Amino acid sequence: MNQFVRRFEPLAAICQAIADGDVKKATSIIDEQGPGGLEGISGDTLAESPVLMALSTGHPRLARRIIASGYKPSAWEAAGLDLAGELHALAAVDPDRLCLCNAEGWAPLHLACYAHAYRALVVLCEFATDPNVVACNSSLETPLHSAVRADDAEAVRILLEAGADPRFLDAAGRSPLQLAIELAAIGAGEMLMRRDD
């Protein structure tokens, strides 16, 4: 087997363990690789992200453990883990990448909102990431919609200060405020209404 392909085998096994809900097995596979065992492997080269899988299944510690083993996070992974330094470095090299959607249709700003990743949000907004970037999936949500779904008033505030437009509608025709009312997202809704004062 090609040595290049062999390097990715542990990641496939980690992804499978996460998909199976076996965090203990995923952790064991990471430990078997030893310190720096995933060094040089980048989230930008993978079809399936073990970091995003871990985050989306409620295992941020596992996601951080993958990064600690030398894995280089993509912009989306860095946003989801609030790795502001990584995002800053990515922005210095390729700022346009920070506005792109991943395979699931989310831009880094969306993921930072879902993760309550305030430092990441600030860095993304600082580097002129469009605060109104629309998800490239069927939701057509802006980051403000994502912040409302997370009922995160601070993320709403950061986005509004960066120029996010609260009038943008999602695929269902809802503004962020309408979504806040529908979801009873009180904190985010109050921040949006305060903006209208």
Domain boundaries, the chain: 105-197
Which CATH architecture does the domain made up of 105-197 adopt? Answer: Alpha Horseshoe (1.25)
* φ, ψ (nearest 5 deg) of residue 28: -60, -40
pLDDT higher than threshold 80 for residue 3: no
Helices (H), the chain: 3-19, 23-33, 50-56, 60-68, 75-80, 84-93, 108-114, 118-126, 143-149, 153-161, 176-183, 186-196
Q: Of 20-29, 30-39, 68-77, 164-173, give the lowest mean pLDDT range.
A: 30-39
Distance CA 98, CA 42 (A): 16
pLDDT higher than threshold 70 for residue 124: yes
Residue-wise pLDDT for 48-94, tens only, equals: 789 999 999 999 999 999 999 999 999 999 999 999 999 999 999 98
| Amino acid symbol at 113 | C
- Say what the pLDDT of residue 52 is: 92
Q: What's the mean pLDDT in 169-195?
A: 96
In a 3-state reduction of DSSP, which class is residue 42? strand
- Confidence (pTM): 0.88
Q: What's the mean pLDDT in 169-185?
A: 97
